[in-house]
Every structure is written in C-alpha cells, then in structure tokens.
Chains A and B, each alone.
Chain A
Amino acid sequence: MKKGDIIIISAVAAAFVLSIVLLISFSKQGSRVVIKQDNKIIYNKSINANETVDTGTNTVVIKDGIVYMSDATCKNQVCVNTGKISKKGESIVCLPNKVIVEIE
C-alpha cells in the first residue's frame, strides 16, 4: 500500500457517502405507479391502490404504498430480487420481459 492508494480509497469512500447523502436528500415518497411493457404504458394508478397487476409475464404487487415484483417468468429473476420500492424515481426493471415498473 502506497500513499496514493490511501488517497484513492478515501476518495471512493467519500464518493460513497456523498452519493448516499444526495440520494436520501432528494428522495420523495412517490404518488403514482407506472408499469410499461414494450415501451407502452399498460398501468398508471395511485400508489395507494391496493392491487395486484398481472402483465402476462410478470406479477406486480402494489400494497400500502409499497411496490414489488412478486413473480416473473424470466430466467435471471433480477426484478424479483430488486425488492420493494416506494420512493419517487425508483424502478424495477425486467429486461428479458421488457417490463418496467416506475414510481412517479
């Protein structure tokens, strides 16, 4: 380990802290859930609508202001593992099925 390495490590750590602080300060509770499939909007409702949306390939659950993908036919399951979202600008993406869930 040399001097420059320590500077780089501290710079990356600073960038990490800064990005978290910026993201937290800019995040707002979302109001609407938009689901797109093949770039077409197939669902646009309030985040407080307690509903389960089936796009044919993916199942999106909207419950108590929290949105998550409960089921997907794709192989990698990245969208299911993304977890729960509720803040403005957050999204769940399923690239194989071309499904995007966004909060606005």
Chain B
Amino acid sequence: MSAKQGNCGNRINIKSITLYALFVAVCLIIGYLESLLSISLIAVAPGVKLGLSNAIALTLICRGDTKGAWAVNITRICLSALLFGSPISFLFSLAGGVASTAVACILSKLKSVSAIGISIAGGAVHNIFQCVAATVFVGVGVVYYLPALLIFGALCGAFCGVLVKLVLNKIKINGIF
C-alpha cells in the first residue's frame, strides 16, 4: 500500500524528469546540427548560430515552467561544452545562456509580452552578454562586432519565437505534456 502511494506521489516528478531529459537530448542534437549549418553561414557572419535549442527552453518558459527551463538550459550548456566545445566556449555560452534565460523568465511574467517578444529580447541579451564575455577573454576590440550581433540575435530570436508560438498552439490542441 505504502509503496503504491509512494509511486503515485512520484509520478509527476518522474514525468517531468523524463521530459526534461528528452528536451536536453533534443537540444543537444539541434545544437550539433546547427554547428554544421553555421559553418556554411560563416562567410556571412562568423560565429552566428540560430540558437534553435533555446526555443525548447522558451517553450517551457511560455508554459510557466521557469524552473524546468533553467534546468534544461544549464544542463544543455554543460553537456554541449563537454561534447563539442572548449572551456572558453563553455564560459561564452554560460554567460549568454544565464542572462537570456533570466530575461526570458522575467518577461514571461508580463502579460503584454508574447513568445516572440520574449525570444527577441532573449536573443539580443544573449549576444550582448556573449560580447561582454568575449571582451574579457579576447579584448575590447570585439565590441565592434556588437551591432551585428544585436541584429542577428534579434532576427534569430524572432525566428525562434514564431516557432515556439506554432509549437504552443499545437500543444494546446493535442494536449501533450
């Protein structure tokens, strides 16, 4: 009896753990595919990435699960640094990731902002903080890259925001998670 009750009590927990793990796995795969894609983008803008994996954390944030978004994002950043990155790239993405998740969480509490707005702000803030991290490691000269980073961050953010909006509508209809 008590064992059964224990199982029932843990069910939500296990479900969310599994979901988060699934999300992290999807994030990593998307991140890897993206890094292949960004090689072809390098001629246009070196280092620019679409940031599709942020769309997953954003989906969680828009569903009101900010804790889950933090968990998925931080795990994703650590794992992708271990798998594909270097210590420096880890610090870069950590700076951007923490700042953009914080901004997205704060903005999600406001009713007048939709997923697109949250995503644009997140993308812009992500790139600003990466630029700040880069000035620490590389030098002040990186600041010259900031305007381009801001615009690309906002554009990629808008793309992710539209994507999240479509996903959220589908979730509403199908009632997944």
Chain A residues with a Cβ under 8 A of chain B = 1-5, 7-9, 11-12, 15-16, 19-20, 23, 27, 76-78, 81-82, 87, 89-91, 93, 95, 100, 102-103
Q: Whole-angstrom distance from the CB of B121 to the nearest CB of chain A?
A: 5
Alpha-carbon distance between A4 and B107 when the two chains are bound, in angstroms: 9
Q: Would you list the 8 A-B pairs with minimal beta carbon distance, nearest first? A: A5-B117, A91-B141, A4-B113, A4-B112, A78-B46, A8-B117, A12-B154, A12-B124
Q: Which residues of B contact A27 (CB under 8 A)?
A: 144
B114/A16 in contact, CB under 8 A: no
A23/B146 in contact, CB under 8 A: yes
Alpha-carbon distance between A93 and B141 when the two chains are bound, in angstroms: 10
Q: Which residues of B contact A77 (CB under 8 A)?
A: 42
Choice from A2, A91, A100 contacting B112 with Cβ under 8 Å: A2
Alpha-carbon distance between A12 and B47 when the two chains are bound, in angstroms: 20
Chain B residues with a Cβ under 8 A of chain A = 39, 42-43, 46-47, 88, 107, 110, 112-114, 116-117, 120-121, 124, 138-144, 146-147, 150-151, 154
Q: Which residues of B contact A100 (CB under 8 A)?
A: 138-139
Q: Which residues of B contact A95 (CB under 8 A)?
A: 88
B42/A12 in contact, CB under 8 A: no
B144/A90 in contact, CB under 8 A: yes
B117/A102 in contact, CB under 8 A: no
A-B CB contact pairs (8 Å), 13 listed: A2-B114, A3-B112, A4-B107, A4-B112, A5-B120, A9-B120, A20-B147, A78-B47, A91-B138, A91-B141, A93-B138, A93-B142, A95-B88
Q: Whole-angstrom distance from the CB of B116 to the nearest CB of chain A?
A: 5
Known: A4-B114, A8-B121, A81-B46. A91 touches B142 (CB 8 A): yes
